[in-house]
Amino acid sequence: MQRIFIIGFFCLLLACKKGKTDLGLIGKWRIIESYSGGPMGACNCWTVVPSAYAETIEFDVLGHYTIKPSLLSSQSPCSGRYQVVDASTLKMTSSCLAEPDLEMSHQYSLDGNILIIHYWIFEGEIRRKYIKE
């Protein structure tokens, strides 16, 4: 009986949540490659990120995420909310932005244990390729 209650409560939690959740996103991801593209002198190529400099991003089932920089980085961790808009679009907020409640749309692709998130910036496009840990 207790199991039924726990399962029902979990389903209720998911049903009350706004937006969709791609359950494949849930979990911890480690960056393995970065793409820099744009007209401002970018290489327009993928570059391997050495494991010593690899950040992680972790998505939870409640629509929150945290980006943790590598131990060698001077950056602070960032966190925020995410929402799956459709099969290729995420809306995300970030505590590292001047406006932490600003929702920004990002294209993403999920293929098994590989996640790619596209970030559009003034100089062009950055893509981050992660592997699920």
What is residue 8's predicted lDDT score, i.e. its pLDDT?
Answer: 43
Domain region containing 41: 21-132
Domain-located, residue 12: no
What is the pLDDT averaged over residues 57-84?
A: 96
Q: Does 76 fall in a domain?
A: yes
How far is 49 from 29, CA to CA, in rounded Å? 13
> For 30-67, how does the pLDDT look when each residue is reduced to its tens digit (9 = 90+)?
999 999 887 666 688 999 999 999 999 999 999 999 99
**Over 50: is that where the pLDDT of 24 sits?**
yes
For 43, the enclosing helix (H) or strand (E) is: none
Question: Residue 34 falls within a domain, yes or no?
Answer: yes
CATH number of the domain to which 45 belongs: 2.40.128.280
Residue 6 lies in a domain: no
Looking only at the bridges linking them, the beta strands covering 104-111 and 89-92 are antiparallel
Q: Concatenate the DSSP letters of all residues of 46-92 into one string.
A: EEEPPGGG--EEEE-TTSEEEEE--TT--PPPEEEEEEEEETTEEEE
Report yes or no on 9 lying in a domain: no
Number of domains in the chain: 1
Residue 13 counted as domain residue: no
Q: Could you tell me if residue 10 is inside a domain?
A: no
| Residue 73 placed within a domain | yes
pLDDT at 7: 44
In the structure encoding, which two tokens stand for residue 47, read together? 């570059």
